[in-house]
Amino acid sequence: MKLTIWHNPRCGKSRQTLELLRSKSAEPTIREYLKDPPSKAEVEKLIDLVGGSPHDLIRDGEPEFKALGKKKADLGKAEVAKAIAAHPILMQRPIVVAGSRAAIGRPPEAVLPLLK
């Protein structure tokens, strides 16, 4: 199965998740989303794959989020996708994608069900 990790090498959780995957003999494709930002359509797909609320994918503690002048609860799927596409630092990290499923690696062990 092909795995992709949406990775920020400066993030401890992202590094831990990558290390965990490798310890399980999984070598994911690494997408450094700050260097190769996702499109709005890609973010919308990630939201669908992760499931749950679109708010789970957006980081609200970043200055770029505060500059939006909105609360997470006020944002719909399209608005979350647009904000992340414009400011990729807002994307929760890491996200691991395996086929038609995805998980946010917080904690890193949350991605382990994807390996089954």
> Active-site residue numbers?
11
Q: Which residue spans within 1-116 are E strands per DSSP?
A: 3-7, 29-32, 95-98, 101-104
What does the block give as tokens for 27?
A: 């070598």
CA distance 13 to 15: 5
Question: Do 4 and 96 contact (CB within 8 A), yes or no?
Answer: yes
DSSP label of 54? G
Residue type (1 letter), 94: P
